[in-house]
Amino acid sequence: MKRHGLGWMAGWVIGIGRVVVAAGGEAEVRVVGGEEPLGPVPVLEALPSGSGVGPGAYRLEPDGDGGPACAATVFHDGDRLILAAIIDRIGAGQERRFRLKAGAPQDREPWRLEVRNEGVDVVAGDQVVIGYRVGPTKPYWHPVTGPMGLAMTRGWPMEQGRNEAEDHPHQRSMWFAHGDVNGVDFWASDPLNRSSSKHGRIRPTGRDLTVTGPGFAAIRTTNQWLDGDGEPVCDDVEMLRIWDGGEVRLIDVEVELHAAHGPVRFGDTKEGVFGVRVASELAVDSQRGGKIVNAEGLSDGEAWGKPSAWVDYSGVIAGQPVGLAILDHPSNLRHPTTWHVRTYGLFAANPFGYHDFGVGRPGAYTIPAGEFLRMRYRIVLHRGDAETGKVARHFRAFERPPQVEISVAD
C-alpha cells in the first residue's frame, strides 16, 4: 500500500538514531542534543537484536554527569524490541551517555493497565492517567489527567456534577473524527445530538498493543469508519503514547487513515479533526482566566482558523495555573495546520476547513484508493501558561528530537 506522509513504522522512532550492534552485554544509550537545550524529551528507539535485554521496567543511569536516573521501558512490538524513555534534559550540542539498568528509578512507580468495560485505563497509584473509551459512536480518551492530578478535559457528558458547560455533547474529552468524509458526518454523530442520516460511526476493530512502564504507556487501536447504512468508508490505525516528565506530561497521538475501500475525501469544513474539549475552568468564556495563544502570539478569538505550529490553552484549575498545548508535527499535511479553537473550550487541529477559516483556496483533500494519510500530534500538559510551560521549546523537541545511539558493550 502506498502512503501519504511518513510510514507508520518510521513514526515509531522519535530519536534520530542509529543502532550499533556488538556481542551481548550491557546496553549503552548515547543522546546528543541539537541547537538548543531540550527537556524533558522522549526517546523511542529499537534495541539491537541479540542485546540480551528483555521487556520490562528499566532506568537510564547517567554515565558521570551526576544527573538523576531516567525512567525507561522495554517492550515488544511485533518482532522488534523497543526502548521508550524520557530524558530529563539535554543541552545544546551536549552528549550524554546512559547505562540501561533493570528496574525503575526509585521515585517512579510503574503505571499499570486496568480493563474497564470495553475500554482500558492507564493507572498510577489510585489515579487514572488516561482512559481509552469505545464510545457510543466513536472512540475517545477520557479522563486526561495532568501532572498535578488535575482533569484537563471536560468530563461532561460522561460525568455529572462537575459544574461544567453542557453543550456540544459530541465533544467528548479527546477524539479524532471529521464532519465530512465522503459526505458522512463522523464529528457530530452522538446519541445526545439530533439524529441524522448523514451521521456515521467509528467502530473499533482491534487493540493490538497495550504497554505500560514507569511513567510510560502505549496503546494502539484499529477502527473502521462506517456510514449510516453500515458500509465501510475508511479504516484507521491510532497510536497513543504518554510520558510522565515530572512537571509535564507528553501525549503523542498518531493516526493513519487508510483508503482501503476506495478513495476517501475529507470535505472542506471546520468540523474536525483532532479535537480536545478543555476543562470548563480553562475556557476563555468562563471568565476565570482562561487564555488561548498560538506560536505567532495571536490570542483567544484571533487564533481561530489561523495556521500555526502550535496552540496553547491555559488557565486555572482548582487554584493551580495549568495549560494544555497541541503541537502539529512538521510532517503533517499542510503544516502548519489551521485551528478550530474556540473560546468556549473546543480545541481542534484541522487542515481541511479552509472555506470556514477564510483561507481563500479549497480545503478538501482526497486519499486515493489503496493509499493512506498519516497525522501526528503531541499534547503538552504543563504548569502555568505557554511561556512558563515552555511550549515553544517542546515544539522544537518534537520537530527536531535529539540524536540517539544504542550500543551493546562486550
pLDDT digits (tens, 9 = 90+) for 357-400: 999 999 999 999 999 999 999 999 999 999 999 999 999 999 99
Helix and strand numbers (H, E) in the chain are: 3, 26
Q: What is the mean pLDDT of residues 2-8?
A: 37
Instruction: Identify the CATH assignment for 8-109+401-408 out of 1.10.357, 1.10.8, 2.60.40, 1.25.40.
Output: 2.60.40
Nearby residues of 114 by Cβ (< 8 Å), 6 or more positions away:
120, 121, 123
Side chain identity, residue 209: L
Nearby residues of 54 by Cβ (< 8 Å), 6 or more positions away:
74
Q: What is the mean pLDDT of residues 274-296?
A: 97
What is the pLDDT at residue 2? 40
Confidence of residue 106 (pLDDT cuts 50, 70, 90): confident
Cα separation, 268 vs 272, in Å, equals 10
What is the layout of strands, in order, in the sheet containing 70-77?
16-20, 403-408, 27-32, 95-102, 56-62, 70-77, 80-87, 41-46
Residue with cell 543511569: 61
Give the residues across from 340 on adjacent strands: 348
What is the pLDDT at residue 117? 84
**Are the CB atoms for 333 and 363 separated by under 8 Å?**
no
Q: Where are the domains of the chain?
A: 8-109+401-408, 112-399
What is the pLDDT at residue 410? 57
What is the pLDDT at residue 409? 65
What is the pLDDT at residue 162? 83
Q: What is the mean pLDDT of residues 10-27?
A: 43
Q: What is the 3-state secondary structure (H, E, C) of 308-365?
A: CCEEEEEEEECCEEEEEEEEECCCCCCCCCEEEECCCCEEEECCCCHHHHCCCCCCCE
Instruction: Identify the CATH assignment for 112-399 out of 2.115.10, 3.30.70, 2.70.98, 2.40.10.
Output: 2.70.98
Q: Which three cell numbers stand for residue 307?
A: 495556521
Phi/psi for 303 (5° steps) reads: -80, -15
pLDDT in tens, 132-178: 999 999 999 999 999 899 999 999 999 988 889 999 999 999 999 99
Which of 12-26, 69-83, 205-219, 306-320 shows the lowest mean pLDDT across its residues?
A: 12-26
**Are the CB atoms for 171 and 177 separated by under 8 Å?**
no
pLDDT in tens, 343-353: 999 999 999 99
pLDDT in tens, 177-191: 999 999 999 999 999
